[in-house]
């Protein structure tokens, strides 16, 4: 029964949903494994039996992502059986998906950030000043792009070396900004103010624009960064305002900043959000150790190395 049901399910996926061959093979592998565990009555299995199967995957040491993929296949399969009248209910409705680990932030290296700024400087004159200012301010402060574009015109004052930023939920925080970032922002504002013309609304913002909001949009900032990336020879898909925020945090932490200070700079309400950057450092340190430590080499590689000495 279960084997026939599996073939019917795969036929449906191919005919009705146009599933690719690799997709069908993946479903076949995952469901065949489940059926082998559940036995001949797999098509009639209840939620408790399926839960036991999933717990067994965890006990085998399979990753949460693999467990989630298997559960997804089971959901599709039993939903199909219920829809076709081959069983009265869908037992997967009662199953909880495994908790997936939070993805690690994607950050550029320090050298890539430097190259990105150089790429921005090579853009046409009308864009270069703005692109450099955006890059300098995002990387020097860790601002969210929404915080950057809505900075008021008076945000940069000589007597106040800190920026007053209004973040999520209207919460305010003070953020230091380097001298070069301030100078870049002033240069960009002069050019943008002329382009924005006499629109009263645009005069309110540090980075004015003719856009409806009176300031640069998040989309225009994102496009500027991608143009700078292309000019620098970097993959534009790897560059975004949020990547620069992650780079700011990762580089500060790697150079000795403490988590509490980083939390304040980023405007995180919960330090648990900031702690994800420690995982980035752990991954990098582990990669360095595995790559360079002589005892971390695979046995074959280690023996070959010894043979040469």
- Tell me the C-alpha distance between 309 and 304, whole Å: 9
Output the pLDDT for position 17: 86
* Other CB atoms within 10 A of residue 241 CB: 22
- Along the 309 residues of the chain, how does pLDDT read in single tens digits? 788 999 999 999 999 888 888 899 999 999 999 999 999 889 999 999 999 999 999 889 888 888 889 999 999 999 999 999 999 999 999 888 877 666 666 889 999 999 999 999 999 988 999 999 999 999 999 999 999 999 998 888 776 678 888 888 788 888 888 889 999 998 898 888 777 655 656 678 888 888 888 899 999 999 999 999 999 999 999 999 999 999 999 999 888 888 899 999 998 888 878 887 877 666 666 666 677 677 765 544 444 444 444
Output the pLDDT for position 196: 62
Output the pLDDT for position 7: 94
Ordered by start, the domain boundaries in the chain are: 2-94, 110-240
Q: Select 110-240's CATH number: 3.40.50.1220, 1.10.443.10, 3.40.50.150, 3.40.50.2300.
A: 1.10.443.10
2-94 and 110-240 share one fold: no
Architecture of the CATH domain 2-94: Orthogonal Bundle (1.10)
Inter-CA distances, 229 with 112, 145, 186, Å: 9, 17, 23
| Catalytic residue set | 144, 168, 242, 245, 268, 277
């Amino acid at each position: 029964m279960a084997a026939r049901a599996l073939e019917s399910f795969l036929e449906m996926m191919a005919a009705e949903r146009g599933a690719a061959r690799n997709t069908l093979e993946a479903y076949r592998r995952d469901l065949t494994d489940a059926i082998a565990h559940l036995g001949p009555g797999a098509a009639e299995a209840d939620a408790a039996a399926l839960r036991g199967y999933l717990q067994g995957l965890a006990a085998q040491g399979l990753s949460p992502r693999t467990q989630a993929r298997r559960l997804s296949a089971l959901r599709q399969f039993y939903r199909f059986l219920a829809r076709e009248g081959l069983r009265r209910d869908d037992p997967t409705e009662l199953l909880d998906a495994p908790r997936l680990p939070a993805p690690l932030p994607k950050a550029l290296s320090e050298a890539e950030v430097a190259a990105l700024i150089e790429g921005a400087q090579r853009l046409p004159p009308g864009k270069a000043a703005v692109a450099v200012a955006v890059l300098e301010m995002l990387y020097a402060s860790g601002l969210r792009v929404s915080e950057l574009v809505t900075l008021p015109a008076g945000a940069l004052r000589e007597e106040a070396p800190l920026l007053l930023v209004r973040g999520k939920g209207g919460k305010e925080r003070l953020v230091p900004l380097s001298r070069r970032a301030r100078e870049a922002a002033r240069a960009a504002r002069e050019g943008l103010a002329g382009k924005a013309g006499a629109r009263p609304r645009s005069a309110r913002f540090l980075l004015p624009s003719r856009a409806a909001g009176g300031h640069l949009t998040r989309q225009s900032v994102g496009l500027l960064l991608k143009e700078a990336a292309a000019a620098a020879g970097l993959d534009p898909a790897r560059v975004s305002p949020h990547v620069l925020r992650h780079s700011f945090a990762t580089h500060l932490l790697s150079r000795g900043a403490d988590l509490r200070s980083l939390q304040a700079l980023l405007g995180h309400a919960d330090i648990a959000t900031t702690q994800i950057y420690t995982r980035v450092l752990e991954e990098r340190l582990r990669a360095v150790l595995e790559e360079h430590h002589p005892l971390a080499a695979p046995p074959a590689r280690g023996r070959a190395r010894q043979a040469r000495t």
